[in-house]
């Protein structure tokens, strides 16, 4: 059976339901790299310049893990998801970076660029045909996978809405899914807050329906799609939480600008900006989280 490798990094955390179900519906074996650890980060750092963001280093480490364990690796190349918007250049470059860094790696060709009329479905058709599947089988596999993805996010939204109704201290964590759910980057923060009985509201569950309108109340000119989604989430739910944590990996350019706009324009709520790099230590992180929780509690007592 053909084995498809998927790195547990970057866009995996946003689209894994779709990706995994698509390949499994075609009858293929899917191998997902393990959770991020220090070894994966160290391996990945060898393939990129020091100035590359931690998220990219993590991705390359997961690729290193998969390079000898599968027949193909799925690395989508994303440029534009909506007209007049862009995504981080890393999502456009990782395909070529992977080919240069791992010359023997067989990478499935998937392009998504709305401005060039290359949409998601056409990308999966190309992938399926490269693997010698018929159009009808590809269509069926895609439709089932999209249904699974829709159900997943509907359930996640219900869970989030229920969390917002609790009387616990509620903190919104604003970051990309590849940071939020990564074992090294975001999971320690979520785990600590939940251990302290803080309800965490995670920013990867959003409603696209009013995305542009919500985002424009903070910035009318931001054009990075994924940062617009995060900004929209902040605007929509900021009055339902007690504090906001902006989480980023060093040195992310789009995040540095978008998060600064949030800090300047979202008023009357405590905000903490946390940046994680290769050398981040749990002790310093916990100290910052403890202080932030104390600030929120004191503020609530005075209100």
- The model's pLDDT over 71-128, given as tens digits with 9 standing for 90+, comes to 999 999 999 999 899 999 999 999 999 999 999 999 998 999 999 999 999 999 999 9
- pLDDT reported for residue 207: 65
From first CA to last CA, the distance across the chain in angstroms is 62
Q: Token digits for 205?
A: 């569950």
* Low-confidence spans in the chain with pLDDT less than 50: none
Q: What structural domains does the chain harbor?
A: 3-147 (3.40.50), 166-302 (3.40.50.2300)
Give 136-165 as a 3 state SS string. HHHHHHHHHHHHHHHHHHHHHHHHHHHHHC
- pLDDT reported for residue 210: 61
- pLDDT reported for residue 208: 63
- SS3 at position 92: helix
pTM: 0.94
Q: Token digits for 287?
A: 């100290």
- Residues 57 and 196: beta-carbon distance below 8 Å: no
Question: Would you mind telling me the total number of residues written for the chain in this entry?
Answer: 303
Bridge partners (DSSP) listed for residue 199: 170
Bridge partners (DSSP) listed for residue 77: 111
Beta strand pairing status for 29-32 and 3-6?
A: parallel
């Amino acid at each position: 059976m053909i084995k498809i490798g998927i790195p547990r990094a970057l866009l995996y955390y946003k689209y894994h339901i779709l990706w995994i179900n698509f390949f499994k519906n075609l009858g293929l074996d899917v191998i997902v790299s393990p959770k991020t650890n220090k070894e994966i980060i160290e391996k990945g750092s060898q393939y990129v310049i020091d100035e590359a963001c931690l998220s990219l280093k993590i991705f390359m480490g997961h690729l290193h893990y998969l390079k000898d364990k599968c027949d193909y690796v799925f690395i989508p190349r994303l440029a534009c998801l909506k007209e007049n918007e862009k995504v981080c250049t890393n999502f456009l470059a990782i395909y070529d970076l992977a080919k240069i860094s791992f010359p023997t790696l067989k990478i499935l060709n998937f392009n998504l660029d709305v401005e060039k009329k290359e949409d998601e479905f056409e990308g999966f058709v190309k992938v399926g045909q490269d693997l010698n599947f018929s159009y009808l089988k590809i269509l069926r596999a895609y439709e089932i996978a999209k249904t699974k993805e829709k159900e997943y996010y509907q359930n996640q939204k219900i869970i989030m809405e229920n969390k917002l109704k609790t009387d616990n201290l509620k903190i919104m964590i604003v970051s990309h899914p590849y940071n939020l759910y990564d074992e090294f980057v975001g999971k320690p923060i979520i785990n600590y807050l939940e251990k302290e009985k803080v309800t965490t509201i995670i920013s990867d569950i959003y409603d696209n329906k009013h995305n542009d309108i919500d985002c424009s109340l903070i910035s009318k000119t931001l054009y990075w799609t994924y940062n617009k989604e995060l900004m929209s989430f902040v605007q929509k739910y900021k009055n339902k939480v007690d504090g906001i944590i902006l989480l980023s990996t060093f040195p992310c350019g789009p995040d540095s600008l978008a998060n600064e706009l949030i800090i300047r324009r979202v008023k009357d709520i405590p905000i903490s900006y946390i940046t994680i790099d290769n050398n981040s230590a749990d002790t310093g992180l916990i100290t910052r989280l403890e202080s932030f929780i104390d600030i929120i509690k004191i503020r609530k007592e005075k209100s």
